[in-house]
Amino acid sequence: MSKLPYERPVIQRLNTGSMNKFGTRTEYAPVTHIENVSVKSLISEFGSPLFVISENKIRQLYSDVTRAFKTRYPRVQFAWSYKTNYMNAVCNVFHQLGSWAEVVSGFEYNKALKNGVPGSKIIFNGPDKTDDELTLAIRNDSLIHIDHLDELYRIIELAVELKKRPKVAIRVNMDVGIYPMWDRFGFNYENGQAWDAINKIILTDKIDLVGLHAHIGTFMLSPQAYGVAASKLADLAYHTKIKFEKNIEYIDLGGGFASKNTLKGSYLKGSDSSPSFDDYAEAISTALLNAEYTKEHMPLLILESGRALIDEAGFLLGTVIANKRLSDGRRSTILDFGVNILFTAFWYDHKISPAQDFSHYTEDTVLYGPLCMNIDVVRENVTLPPMKKGDQVVVHTVGAYNMTQWMQFISLRPNIVLIDTNGKTHLIRAKESLDTLNSQERMPAHLSSFKL
């Protein structure tokens, strides 16, 4: 029998607080592998910290979500939300699976084009589309989702200039029983703005209203809210049909399905409390099937789900830098990654697993990142076995938003690796270097030298 590692005894102050019915332990076994690739080998080859994406998991989530919808509704199309994770390799997995692209800026629009998405399969959302970007989108027959009247009038002018008939939808915001309401994007349903925009578009006769769009929020825990949104869009489509004899080709219900992450302050874990794809699909399809459509004119249902289709496919590997006692006696562990690359730590209690064997002793621990700022906290309170300098950890469910919202503050962004369906690893984004950043800077001649 090998000798057990020594762990020094500790006297621990008890911080009483609420405990949930499952007790405080969360980790029972180390996570030593991701998709059969060892964490140690990943870190030794690609460095620490390191983002890892499982292609298998993306494909599995996509197959789950499409099955949930396609068994309930005849015509369904997914469009990958670029801002949720726009690594080109990730986007192309979704495009291979049949997803169109959903973009919210000119930069993302061009990224989708460069990935080879046909213009007509790019949905262009967002409140800020420049004239050049609108022109490009009109020339490419993209689906332009109008956010406000200023944009509507600009598109009408461009349509005349370019002698094209742009394909548009309007974004509609509405009361779906979730507050605060997301009413800053698009046209409001209840106060008549949305109906007004529809009338203006159809009566100008210069642009083609092909769809209606809503994106009611993100991490929506209520499937029924989507049912309400679908009914309200279907109602607008019905009135458009009655008044103008025009069929709306698609209803786009946006994204926002909750992933399996655990929101801060929630009693149950996300894996137990987030609705399933079937729950969302049932609410949406029921609303659309019961709306006033004839069988021949059932609209295409478009979904722009991002978070729920990528979060679980992403892992962040990292290393313990040091341990400390705080002034109140609590244990704190400093990791080599912080909120700079794990932006979602502000909202979630991310599950964090040690990547090597550990003892049965556990302790309340604060996990800090390495940044020199006080808000750099990865977990405010987590019950973990003690880890030593050099030990490694796996953070789960980090695939959504971290690789797009990450910030370059005092350190450089790390490597991203994709593990393909055969277990082979691919570097899909190289870590940044000082040269990466310096290449963007320019030095005025009079500042180019100094003597100290």
Instruction: Name the site residues for ligand PLP (rule: CB under 6 A).
Output: 81, 83-84, 102, 104, 125, 215, 218, 254-257, 304-307, 400
Which of residues 256 and 385 has its CB atom nearest to ligand PLP in the complex?
256
What whole-number distance in Å separates Cα of residue 162 and Cα of residue 430? 41
Beta bridge partners of 367: 333, 379
Which of residues 215 and 232 has its CB atom nearest to ligand PLP in the complex?
215
Which residue, 408, 409, 429, 410, is CA-closest to 418?
429
What whole-number distance in Å separates Cα of residue 86 and Cα of residue 401? 9
Helix (H) / strand (E) containing 241: helix 223-244
Which of residues 311 and 376 has its CB atom nearest to ligand PLP in the complex?
311
Min separation Cβ 128 and ligand PLP, Å: 12
Which of residues 143 and 419 has its CB atom nearest to ligand PLP in the complex?
143
Which of residues 78 and 315 has its CB atom nearest to ligand PLP in the complex?
78
Q: Is 266 exposed, middle or buried (0-12, 13-18, 19+ CB in 10 A)?
A: middle
Which of residues 194 and 355 has its CB atom nearest to ligand PLP in the complex?
194
Which of residues 30 and 256 has its CB atom nearest to ligand PLP in the complex?
256
What whole-number distance in Å separates Cα of residue 157 and Cα of residue 170? 17
Min separation Cβ 305 and ligand PLP, Å: 5
For helices 193-204 and 149-162, the axis angle rounded to 10 degrees is 10
Q: Are 109 and 103 in contact (CB under 8 A)?
A: yes
Which of residues 254 and 385 has its CB atom nearest to ligand PLP in the complex?
254
Min separation Cβ 247 and ligand PLP, Å: 23
- Cβ neighbours of residue 331 closer than 8 Å, sequence gap 6 or more: 10, 323, 324, 325, 363, 364, 365, 366, 386
Which of residues 42 and 103 has its CB atom nearest to ligand PLP in the complex?
103
Min separation Cβ 79 and ligand PLP, Å: 8
For helices 106-114 and 88-96, the axis angle rounded to 10 degrees is 60
Min separation Cβ 307 and ligand PLP, Å: 4
What whole-number distance in Å separates Cα of residue 163 and Cα of residue 7? 76
What whole-number distance in Å separates Cα of residue 74 and Cα of residue 398? 32
Structure tokens at 129: 């589309």
Helix (H, G, I), strand (E, B) or coil at 143: strand
Min separation Cβ 65 and ligand PLP, Å: 11
Distances (CA, A) of 396 to 34, 53, 220, 407: 10, 11, 20, 20
Where are the extended beta strands (E) located within 358-423? 363-368, 377-384, 392-396, 416-419
In 245-348, which ranges are continuous DSSP H helix?
Answer: 270-273, 277-289, 307-310
Which of residues 124 and 368 has its CB atom nearest to ligand PLP in the complex?
124
What whole-number distance in Å separates Cα of residue 29 and Cα of residue 23? 16
Q: Are 415 and 431 in contact (CB under 8 A)?
A: yes
Which of residues 307 and 331 has its CB atom nearest to ligand PLP in the complex?
307
Min separation Cβ 85 and ligand PLP, Å: 9
Min separation Cβ 217 and ligand PLP, Å: 8
Q: Is 98 exposed, middle or buried (0-12, 13-18, 19+ CB in 10 A)?
A: exposed
